Structure 1
Amino acid sequence: MSMFINACYGDSGGPFMMFTSNKQWVLVGITSNGIGCGQAEYSGVYTRVAAYEYWINSTIN
């Protein structure tokens, strides 16, 4: 299985995770949409979580 398979139908709102060199999973994006299902030749659309980090932290605290 490739690590670069795209999102599929029903994935919207799901996590886009990255495994760091510190061996931790980090949330980097939220799935928005894509073309087709698992189409490696097309880019999916994700919302970058870091852009909302301040708002997320202030809301949950």
Structure 2
Amino acid sequence: MAQQNRFPTWMMVVAVIILIPVIVWALSLTLHIVAALSIGAILLIVFLVWLFTKLKDRVVGS
């Protein structure tokens, strides 16, 4: 039996959409704005790769 997901995928997407600008804003207080935007972009890319692999496994697994 497959383990039930704790959070639906759409909820994780909404959370990242809310959190990425907040993280970039917080980093820009201490770092140069270009560095903060770069770190935010890297976090967004990492999340998208994770999301696509999760969705691929869901489609292939069914």
Instruction: Report TM bin, short chain.
Output: under 0.3
Q: Quick one: higher RCO (CA 8 Å, sep 6+), 1 or 2?
A: 1
TM-score (norm 1): 0.25
Q: Which is greater in Rg?
A: 2
Q: Going by fraction, where is strand more abundant, 1 or 2?
A: 1
